[in-house]
Amino acid sequence: MHQFPFAQPIYTPSMLPWNDWYHINGNTYGTWLRGDNRGWRARHHREHVVGDYKNPPPPGTYNKLHIQSQMLMTRPPVHLSPQAARIACDEFAASLLRHAITVLAVAINDHHFHTLARIPDHTPRKWIGIAKKDSARMLSDRSLVQPGGIWAVRCRCLPIRDRIHQINGFHYIKKHSTQNAVVWTYCSDPL
């Protein structure tokens, strides 16, 4: 097969990231469930799902599954207040920095987060898990959330392909400030 010199390699999750950079995102508990009208993915793609968040499935396609997912929840979905999102965002960044993880940007709104970070040991879920724990503890200690945790299990860790991808990811996360998200960047005021 002839390859053009300008063709980019096909992305696979097992690719090592460029200079150890990852774009990581996740949700608060119960805000994006299986069967969601916005589209969803089964873990490890075990089920074929029509549509995604850019091209949602036809309305009603997965209603039964969404209702079942809601019934399995042990508590109501978590939505952060603007004050809680600010505190969570600052603590998320501070937690990663305390563990010597270089962070370029963090954005948190009422129901999800995005982070652009350099993780040399290639275990982004470990470090994001620690940041989620620390931010949840801080919000709980200040009585800004109900007990039981605020973050959904796991997160999506996208390896950055190259410098252009890193710059685009940074601007994408920073742009969340126009969408009611609290944004922390490396050039923000120090923590």
8-state DSSP, 28: B
Please report the DSSP string for 74-119 in residue order.
SSPPP---HHHHHHHHHHHHHHHHHTT-EEEEEEE-SSEEEEEEE-
- What integer is the mean pLDDT of 137-158? 92
> Which pLDDT score is estimated for 60?
84
Pick the CATH number of 18-29+79-185 from 3.30.70.1290, 1.20.120.10, 3.40.630.30, 3.50.50.60: 3.30.70.1290
Question: How would you class 72 by CB atoms within 10 Å of its CB: exposed for 0-12, middle for 13-18, buried for 19 or more?
Answer: exposed
- Answer whether residue 1 shows pLDDT above 50: no
How many CA atoms within 13 Å lie on the side-chain side of 1? 2
- What integer is the mean pLDDT of 106-130? 97
Two tokens, residue 8: 């980019």
Least confident segment among 10-14, 27-31, 32-36, 58-62: 10-14
Q: Which residues pair with 114 in a beta bridge?
A: 25, 107
- What integer is the mean pLDDT of 54-64? 84
Q: What's the CA gap between 84 and 182, in Å, rounded?
A: 10
Q: Where are the domains of the chain?
A: 18-29+79-185, 34-72
pLDDT category of residue 168 using cuts at 50, 70 and 90: very high
> Which pLDDT score is estimated for 51?
75
- What integer is the mean pLDDT of 116-144? 96
pLDDT category of residue 4 using cuts at 50, 70 and 90: very low
> Which pLDDT score is estimated for 38?
77
- Does residue 7 or residue 91 have the better pLDDT? 91
**What is the average pLDDT value for the chain, to the nearest integer?**
88
Give the relative orientation of helices 124-141 and 82-98 as an angle to the nearest 10 degrees: 130
Nearest alpha-carbon partner for 27 in 96, 73, 95, 60:
73
Q: What's the CA gap between 149 and 137, in Å, rounded?
A: 8
Q: What is the pLDDT of residues 174-187, one digit of tens each?
A: 999 999 999 999 98
- Answer whether residue 46 shows pLDDT above 80: no
The total of other beta-carbon atoms located within 10 Å of residue 188's CB is 13
Q: What percent of the chain has pLDDT over 90?
A: 64
- Answer whether residue 28 shows pLDDT above 50: yes
Q: What percent of the chain has pLDDT over 70?
A: 90
Least confident segment among 10-14, 33-37, 66-70: 10-14
Residues sharing a CB contact under 8 Å with residue 11, sequence separation 6 or more, in sequence order = 161
- Answer whether residue 2 shows pLDDT above 60: no
